[in-house]
Amino acid sequence: MPIGSTGCVPYDPRQRTAYGYVPSLAAGIVYCVIFGLSMIAHTFQAIKTRALWNLVFAVGCLTEVIGWAARSWSSECAYNANAFLMQICTLIIAPTFFTAGIYVILGRMIAIAGPGVSPIGPVWYLWIFCTVDVISLVIQAVGGGSAAVAFNSEPPGNTKVGTNIMVAGIDFQLASVVIFSVLFFLFLYRASAKLHLPAFKDDKNMKLLVLVTSFSILLIVMRSIYRTIELAGGWTGHVIETERYFIALDGAPMAALVIAFNVLHPGVLINRIIARHGVQIAEKPSKRSRKSKKASKHDNHMSDSSA
């Protein structure tokens, strides 16, 4: 049975799998349960707190569930190409939803701090870094698809070009996360140590929000470094063919991240901070409010002209 088969046959030690091993069924089930329960919790928490942007964590959890379900599928059908490609795509994409949530959290923090604290407006963080994430994912998808097709062909083709493209995409994403981390911690320094803003220096809820966000950023950086090292050795390297590294350095960090945000939910913490300090988070104005504002300006102009 060739590596790129779409069928399902028992594992044969004489025939290599695309993974270099047979994925653990136990690990697949455990992570499906963890991410599945976290997804349900995030969905409930987002609705309860009326902070629907937190649903990005639920979507990320769903993507992780699909990926680990595909690995569970591979544990029974080790040569199935569909299962192999499914887990590659989903487990690469999933953390992007978590980083998007972190970008929104920073935006909320900037709005609470007020103007002048951050060198970039809150909306720009979301646009810039989400765009970078999308570009990096496209690069990874192109490289991963090219390498996987070559690797799963019979006989196997040259995967070097596709792998190099994929590594470039992961390096690009890692660089963006590192740059974001620097901006994030610079903002926190200015808000707490330099400007001594009460919401950042004395508020327990803000300290918890900063703690869980910082912890999550470090987990994403750690996972990105692992992914870079994993693919740098090629599709038959020692790291990529050792499943315990993948379980510990890809699955575990993302599981810890979503659980941390379940325990210290950003929607709950931000609502408490806003209630305590009387902060108004300016959302995008509706069409009606924009029309009213425009009409008001027009009336004022007419009054000035009459005078």
- Summary mean pLDDT of the chain: 84
Write the DSSP symbol of residue 53. Answer: G
Question: Percent of the chain at pLDDT above 70?
Answer: 84
* pLDDT tens sequence across 257-299: 999 999 999 999 999 988 887 666 654 444 444 444 444 444 4
166, 144 contact by CB (below 8 A): yes
Residue 300 has pLDDT above 60, yes or no: no
Print burial letters for 46-62: b (CB count within 10 Å at least 16), e (below 16).
Answer: beebebebbbbbbbbbb
Kindly indicate the confidence band of residue 152, based on its pLDDT and cuts at 50, 70 and 90.
low
Nearest-angstrom CA–CA distance, 229 and 62: 26
- pLDDT at position 4, please? 55
- pLDDT at position 127, please? 87
- pLDDT at position 155, please? 62
Kindly indicate the confidence band of residue 196, based on its pLDDT and cuts at 50, 70 and 90.
confident
- What's this model's pTM, rounded to 2 decimal places? 0.85
Give a three-class secondary structure readout of 287-305.
HHHHHHHHHHHHHHHHHHH
Residue 95 has pLDDT above 50, yes or no: yes
Nearest-angstrom CA–CA distance, 94 and 67: 9
- Which of 120, 110, 94 is CA-nearest to residue 35? 94
Q: Residue with structure tokens 């653990």?
A: 24
* Token reading at 54: 């937190």
The CA–CA distances, whole Å, from 95 to 38, 55, 137, 272 equal: 14, 14, 11, 27
* Token reading at 259: 């659980």
- pLDDT at position 269, please? 94
Packing angle of the helix pair 25-49, 55-76 (nearest 10 deg)? 160
The least confident of 78-92, 100-114, 123-137, 190-204 is: 190-204
* Token reading at 121: 């407006």
Nearest-angstrom CA–CA distance, 31 and 22: 16
220, 99 contact by CB (below 8 A): yes
* pLDDT tens sequence across 31-46: 999 999 999 999 999 9
Nearest-angstrom CA–CA distance, 7 and 262: 39
- Which of 134, 152, 60 is CA-nearest to residue 98? 60
Nearest-angstrom CA–CA distance, 167 and 173: 10
* pLDDT tens sequence across 230-250: 888 877 889 999 999 999 999
The CA–CA distances, whole Å, from 26 to 32, 62, 68, 81, 234 equal: 10, 19, 10, 21, 26
Region 78-106 average pLDDT: 90
